[in-house]
Chains A and B, each alone.
Chain A
Amino acid sequence: MGISIEVNVNGEKRHSEVDARLLLVHYLRDTLGLTGTHVGCDTSNCGACTVLVDGKAVKSCTMLAVQANGAEVKTIEGMAENGELHPLQSSFKEAHGLQCGFCTPGMIMTAANLLERNSNPSEEEIRHALEGNFCRCTGYHNIVKAIQLAAQQLT
């Protein structure tokens, strides 16, 4: 036990001593108190736990905290800047892209990775990109619309 790691989380350097078996999602939620990242299935399927690790969407329930040593991690808490919602956040609100909101942080982080790779995705490309993110409420339709809206605002 007690492996020393340094992770840049939402722009802030965090030093911690962690157990090798600590999952990244528990590091974020329990050690750092960043509870915006959710645990849904805990079996690598639902994507509720998605965060960006060095800019790439990753299911944080399927990564060890020690694997993030030296990396930059971005969670939903790091999306807004200077008190202003990120366009993905405001368009989920605008386009009614959420109901209970449980899946939303993961959806937004995956969408951020998609828009970084493809600034003008088609509906089909958005739906393909969300294959690893489950929503039990919305039927996905407004989530797709919200991502399209954010894509327009970001370009």
Chain B
Amino acid sequence: MIPSSFAYHKPSTVDEAIQMLQDAGEDAKLLAGGHSLIPAMKLRMNSPSALIDLRGISGLRYIRQEGNAIAIGAASTHHDIIDSNLVQSHLAMMVQAGSQIGDIQVRNMGTIGGSIAHADPAADWPACLIAADASIEMKGPNGTRTVAAEDFFLGLYYTALEEGEIITEVKIPIPAPGTKSSYVKFHQPASRFAIVGCAVMMKSSGGTCQSIRVGFTGVSDMAFRDTDLEDAIRGKELSAANVEAASQVAAAGKDILGDHFASTDYRLHLARVFAARAIHAAS
């Protein structure tokens, strides 16, 4: 399978890329790792007139501490992230999620910026970024703006990113001491994408949940924060019975996806089971 023809541009700075994106017209697309875009182009589900390759922009690939946050350049690969000492020492859930994305080859090419821009409802990073209270920085012809991860995902393959904008950075606050995080995932058996993925960032003391943020992926047509579940466990002792009871409100009121891998009822059941597992794993 061969993609249809397109023009190819390789900028070396973000500003140059923004300019090229404007000049190339509305059918132009950014190319990061290509691991969502190229398969779609080969199937002719996507036929951009031009590709603007971000891999030549060295200033988009970094992972560093900035004040009290970890800043991840949008073109950092999944492998860069799970291999980072900084991420390993503060964000267990990012390592757990990243090492379950696809396979070695996918992790070597796919990027965090590409993953969140694509906004596949079964992608792993979105749940983590929501639970971690990350913010997403975008740059376009009108300057730079930042959106909280929980407000970024708006629907099926649909985000707050506007025409002409490039995601430049994901910024994750370093969790306060005593905070633990986890990501658990029920895999689609062939593609390895999430049928259900649950990310939890929780601070507990003396076996009681002090504060918690929960992000889900795979369950609905977009990743979301589950505040009902957070409210149901906050302030409670993290006993098996309490966690089990709280997990019953997981994904309540959401439009649950159903397909031939997991019906709506089964997905909701999985959301509850994986919510409980993720909370226990972060206790």
Task: Say yes or no: A64-B34 contact (C-beta < 8 A), given A19-B5, A21-B4.
Answer: yes
- Residues of the A chain whose Cβ atoms lie less than 8 Å from the Cβ of B35: 44, 62
Given contacts A64-B38, A67-B34, A131-B192, contact A57 B5 (CB under 8 A): no
Which residue from chain A places its CB closest to the CB of B83 in the assembled complex? Answer: A117
Tell me, yes or no, whether A47 is within 8 Å of chain B by CB. Answer: yes
Judge whether A20 and B103 touch: CB under 8 Å: no
Q: Interface size (A, Cβ < 8 Å)?
A: 31
Annotate A109-129 by CB proximity to B: 1 below 8 A, 0 otherwise: 010011000000000000001
Decide if A57 touches B6 in the complex (CB within 8 Å).
no
Decide yes or no: A43 and B38 within 8 Å by CB, A50-B105, A131-B104 being known contacts: no
With both chains docked as a complex, state the minimum distance between the C-beta of A144 and any C-beta of chain B, in angstroms: 15
Type the 1/0 row for B166-204, where 1 means its CB is closer than 8 Å to any CB of A: 000000000000000000000000111000000000000
Other-chain contact of B109, A47, A63, A113, A114 (Cβ < 8 Å): A63
Is A40 interfacial (CB-CB < 8 Å)? no
Bound-complex Cα distance A56 to B108 (A): 7
Q: B42 at interface (Cβ–Cβ under 8 A)? A: yes
Q: Are A62 and B108 in contact (CB under 8 A)?
A: no
Does A45 belong to the interface (CB within 8 Å)? Answer: yes
Interface residues of A in 31-78 (CB under 8 A from B): 42-45, 47, 50, 53, 56-59, 62-64, 66-67, 69
Task: Name the contact of B2 in the complex, choosing from A23, A69, A113 (C-beta under 8 A).
Answer: A23
Residues B108 and A42 in contact, CB atoms below 8 Å apart: no
> Could you say which of B7, B31, B34, B104 contacts A57, with CB atoms under 8 Å apart?
B104
Residues of A within 8 A of B102 (CB): 131-132
**Size category, B interface:** 20 to 34
A47 to B31, CA, bound (A): 21
A129 and B6 in contact (CB under 8 A), knowing A45-B190, A66-B53? no
The answer to whether B108 and A20 touch across the interface, beta carbons within 8 angstroms, is: no
Q: B39 and A62: CB pair below 8 A?
A: yes
Across-interface contacts of A58 in B (CB, < 8 A): 105, 108-109
Q: Are A114 and B38 in contact (CB under 8 A)?
A: no
- Residues 1-39 (chain A) with a chain B CB within 8 angstroms: 1, 3, 19-21, 23, 26
What's the minimum C-beta distance from A139 to chain B, rounded to whole angstroms? 17
Q: Is B79 an interface residue (CB 8 A)?
A: yes
Asked if B236 lies at the interface with its beta carbon under 8 angstroms from chain A, I say no
The 8 Å CB contact of B8, one of A20, A53, A114, A131, is A20
In whole angstroms, what is the CA distance A114 to B105 when docked?
11
Complex: A59 Cα to B107 Cα, angstroms = 11
B51 at the interface (CB under 8 A from A): yes
Chain B residues within CB distance 8 Å of chain A: 1-8, 10, 31, 34-35, 38-39, 41-42, 51, 53, 55, 79, 102-106, 108-109, 190-192
